[in-house]
Structure 1
Amino acid sequence: MGLAAAFLVASCSVDGDATQNTADLSSRSVTAADFPVSGATRVPQNSVAYAIGDLIGRPANSPYDPPACQPAAVGSDGAVVYLGIVEADRASFTSAVVGVDDALSTVVDQARACPRATTGNATTATSKVQTRVSDAPEHPAGVDTAAVLRTVETGGDQAPLLTRTMTYIGQQGTVRVYCQYRWPSAGDISSEAKGQLGALFEKVLRAAFGS
């Protein structure tokens, strides 16, 4: 489940159908210059669907157990995703602006209902996923926000690969934004990274919804 290597969530009744939204959201996205690391790039449009799936915890060909805990698909039409790699420790920052047809509360409800799940199969490897709702970031009036912390443990008990993500999410109407920090460790997010994530999220909100 690594967006950086290749480039959170809805109600427990997941139908798997992606939202179709053809509006171009480029004007509502941050740019590479807004990232706290140099070298951030826009994900090519033909890779946006994969990037969004990885961002929300729904990588391709990775069924969930229980199935109700699989995050609902989010459409990629018109969506914009940027990725910035922290070369020192293989961490990354990601931003996305997408069109949706469900409320942000469904994301939070599923995250709370699915604190533990398993995803993957014999072909893609199996991962244990732990999900927790954190304190929502500050937000401007009229915008809903949420924060989801996810821990993914892939591989056997001997030397599992551990990855954590802190994802800030904002939504107004049918436009939703994601701002995520991913780091390869079981430890907590550093104070520096948390500050950088918060600052990037403020820019993401401003770009998408105004001041």
Structure 2
Amino acid sequence: MHSLQDAAGGSLSATAGTEFAERAAVVARDEQGAGVAGVTVEFRIVGDTDSRFADGATTATATTGADGTATAPVLLAGEKTGEFTVRATVVERATLPGVDHRATVTAPPRADALARAGTTEPTAAAGGEFAERLTVTATHKGAAAAGVALTATMIAGTDSSQAADAGPYFKDAQGEPVRTLAGLETGADGTLRLPRMYADDRAGTFLLRVTAEGGVTLTIELHVD
């Protein structure tokens, strides 16, 4: 074996908390430029990062196939943004130059707009359940924004960011009323379907505010008869 060359064709990039779409890959060649099969290659994550291979490790090995190519396992982006390196070297060939693949983890997208899907007014009878589960869409410059962190709060009033102490509510895992849901996130299509909502015994018009990371908000009126 004469050399190890890049076979990935560019840098690797992913949003924090997601899989890298691309995988590091190299090709082992002999002096005539032909691929060499059966070469064991180590891929190592180098740098200040919490990104890992799918099994949670910072190193992985792969063996070159008939065409001389070895491909690293899927890489998972951590929460730390910035650049790091995936370094490929031939096992037990320390003097043979390796191949560095630059990898970049970017911050999750921030939505610049939130909208509600559908036009039917959310309505429930006092003490009952809202028939419709609301769907919220997050966009950035008009395109669907996936992975946007959202918080849904039954607010006390238009000028308040505090959760109300009465009126419509969600339910927690134990079935208890809650009026703030944090840790929500839009899917690949930029949408989030909120959990079911319920009304207590108070009638009137109430407000649900959905807030995206970065501060964009959407306020929805809820009606209880």
TM > 0.5: no
Q: Which has the higher contact order (CA 8 A, sep 6+)?
A: 1
Structure number with the higher helix fraction is 1
Structure number with the higher strand fraction is 2
With normalisation by structure 1, the TM-score equals 0.23
